[in-house]
Amino acid sequence: MHHLHHPGKTGVDAFLRVFDEGLGTQSEPVRLGTWPRRLRQASEAGRDQPFLPYLDVFQQHVEQWENAAGAVDAADLPSDTYPATI
């Protein structure tokens, strides 16, 4: 298991490739602000995610980042803060 905060440098592409192979999924980069919106939509469609209890706090951080640095693109984020996709 390789945690996202592991001291070794593992890029997002390498991490997601193994993640997707293990789950049979296909992840795609999304804008940071897109991720909370997709989680809310999944919940509204009856597919609750374990992250939902933290979503409001996370959304506050997204808004702070976007206000401080303009719209933040997922490709501009450090690999250890790359948002998961649904």
Over residues 17-57, the pLDDT tens digits come to: 888 999 999 988 788 788 888 888 998 999 988 888 888 89
**Angle (deg, nearest 10), helices 55-69 and 34-44:** 150
Contact assessment for residue 53 and residue 3, using Cβ atoms and an 8 Å cutoff? no
d(CA 62, CA 20): 25
* pTM of the shown model: 0.52
Structure tokens at 39: 């989680």
Distance (Å) of CA 20 to CA 3, 26, 85? 15, 6, 11
Domain residue spans in the chain? 32-86
